[in-house]
Amino acid sequence: MAEITFREALRQTLREALLGDERVVLMGEDIGAYGGSYGVTRGLLEEFGPDRVRDTPISESAVVGAGIGAAMGGLRPVVELMTINFSFLAFDQIINNASKLHYMSGGQISVPLVVRMASGGGSQLSSQHSHSLEGWYAHVPGLKVVVPATPYDARGLLKTALRDENPVIFIEHTALYAMKGEVPEEEYRVPFGQASVHRPGRDVTIVGYSGSVHQSLRAAAMLAEEGLEAEVIDLRTLRPLDIDTVVESVKKTNRAVVVEDDWRTGGFAGEISSLIQERAFDYLDAPVARVCGADVPMPYNKRLETAALPSEEQIVQAVKGMS
């Protein structure tokens, strides 16, 4: 077992994919000569050449569309969008083309495309560079949405994504790139639709994904000091969503808190809450609580920004409010 960073786990996985399958092609802004704006693709251009690691113009729509077209034409492209914030420019391609091609062609066309993007706020990058809109993609039938929270999952889920015949939106929280974690040397994969329980507990279920998993774990530590044992669940993929694991947990704890960075109103936490309520109604001792980002454009000022994002304290408060 090696301890490597989230970033390194992704890089290694991409490299292995390039080595193992001629059809794999990477495309994105500054992924080649620059080494990737988050360093994920460092060294790959040098090793595999410009035909396989392609720097693109700033042209999100055409680049994602070209990725879709290339997938239609037999390649297995991996498009990197520098951040989720720029992906809006490619919304038309992702939603009107990628997610629908298999369906509207009556099954003739498949789009084995992976679109990777960095997501999340908290670095004072202000409102246009701080979105966490995993939920918007998870809303769309025809897409798969993957949100790893650890290096182990980053590698395992990316491997699965690279083999999926459907368009996969693979979202990496910027705060996690430098995070270290144990990653086995042996071959393994993490399937989609399988949440993982990071920490067992019997008093409350805390559900998170991506960055919010770690916040939830820190909140759990704080709760433990007060004798409350929280079970922390990492969803790992939002579509397909493993709600069964969450429900099983809630049956045990009778309380649930959902944590996500995204804006509270209309966020995916609402979907998870609704599912818990539907499936575990008789096991709830309190309404499902949500700890989410504030309904504001992300401010620049540090304190304001912190206030706009979920915190461990808020999670702890939410839990105590239902005990």
Partner 1 sequence: MISEVVMPQMGADMQEGTILRWLKREGDPVRRGEIIAEIETDKANVEIEAYESGVLRRILLPEGTTVPVGQVIAVIAAPEDDISRYLPVRQAGEREAAAAAAGVAAHKPAAVPERPAAAAEAPPAEAGRVRASPAARRLAGEMGVNLSRVQGTGPDGRILRRDIEAAKAPVAEAVPPAAVPAEAAAAPAMSRMRQAIARRMTQSKREAPHYYLTMDIDMTEAERLRRQLNEAAEGEVHISVNDVIVKAVARALRRHPIFNSWFVDGQAQQQQALNIGVAVALEEGLIAPAILDCGQKSLADIARAGRDLAERARSGVLKAEEYSGATFTVSNLGMFKVETLIAIIPPPQTAILGVGAVRKVPAVQDGEIVVRERMKVALSADHRVTDGALGARFLAEIRNFLENPISLLV
Partner 2 sequence: MTTRARSRAVRKQPDRGQLADLLRRMMLIRRFEEKAAEMYARRKIGGFLHLYIGQEAVAVGAISTLGPSDYIVSHYREHGHALARGLEPGPLMAELFGRATGVSRGRGGSMHLFDVKRGFMGGYAIVGGHMPLAVGLALASSYLKNGRIVLNIFGDGAVNQGEFHESLNLASVWKLPVVFLCENNLYGMGTDVRRVSAEPEIHKRACGYNIPAERVDGMDLLAVREAARRAVEWARGGKGPYFLEAVTYRFRGHSMADPEFYRDKAEVERWKAQDPILRYRRHLEGEGLISEKETRSLEEGVEAAINEAVRFADESPEPPPEALYEYVYKEGK
* Chain residues in the site for partner 1 (CB under 8 A): 251, 279, 281-283
Nearer to partner 2, 93 or 210 (CB): 93
Nearer to partner 2, 73 or 227 (CB): 73
91 binds, among partner 2, partner 1, none (CB under 5 to 8 A by kind): none
Nearer to partner 1, 189 or 279 (CB): 279
Which one of the spans 48-56, 178-186, 206-214, 300-308 is the region binding partner 2 (CB under 8 A)?
Answer: 48-56
227 binds, among partner 2, partner 1, none (CB under 5 to 8 A by kind): none
Shortest Å distance, C-beta 60 to partner 2: 8
Nearer to partner 1, 81 or 243 (CB): 243
The answer to whether 71 contacts partner 2 (rule: CB under 8 A) is: yes
66 binds, among partner 1, partner 2, none (CB under 5 to 8 A by kind): partner 2
Shortest Å distance, C-beta 18 to partner 2: 13
Strands (E), 124-183: 144-146, 168-173, 180-183
Shortest Å distance, C-beta 46 to partner 2: 19
Count residues contacting partner 2 (CB under 8 A)?
43
- In the region spanning residues 158 to 177, those forming contacts with partner 2, defined by CB under 8 A, are 163-166
Residue 60 annotated as catalytic: yes
Burial (CB < 10 A; 0-12, 13-18, 19+), residue 180, is middle
CA-CA-CA-CA torsion sign (295, 298, 303, 308)? positive
The answer to whether 67 contacts partner 2 (rule: CB under 8 A) is: yes
Structure tokens of 226? Answer: 């007060």
DSSP-assigned letter for residue 246: H
Strands (E), the chain: 2-5, 24-28, 53-55, 76-81, 114-119, 144-146, 168-173, 180-183, 196-199, 204-208, 230-234, 237-239, 256-263, 289-293
51 binds, among partner 1, partner 2, none (CB under 5 to 8 A by kind): partner 2
Nearer to partner 2, 91 or 283 (CB): 91
The answer to whether 110 contacts partner 2 (rule: CB under 8 A) is: yes
Residue 214 annotated as catalytic: no
Instruction: Put residue 49 in one of left, alpha, beta given phi > 0 → left and psi -120 to 50 → alpha.
Output: left
CA dihedral 287, 289, 295, 300 (to 10 degrees): 170
Shortest Å distance, C-beta 275 to partner 2: 18
As a whole number of Å, the end-to-end CA separation of the chain is: 40
Question: Peptide bond before 299: cis, by omega within 30 degrees of 0?
Answer: no
Side chain identity at residue 61, one-letter code = S
What is the C-alpha to C-alpha distance for residues 97 and 166, in angstroms, rounded to an integer?
Answer: 12
8 A C-beta contact, residue 323 and residue 203: yes
- In the region spanning residues 204 to 233, those forming contacts with partner 2, defined by CB under 8 A, are none
Burial (CB < 10 A; 0-12, 13-18, 19+), residue 226, is exposed
Catalytic residue (one of 8, 29, 60, 260): 60
Nearer to partner 1, 171 or 238 (CB): 238
Write out the residues near partner 2 by the rule CB under 8 A.
25, 51, 54, 56-57, 59, 61-75, 77, 92-93, 96-97, 101-110, 141-142, 144, 163-166
* Residues marked as catalytic: 60, 129
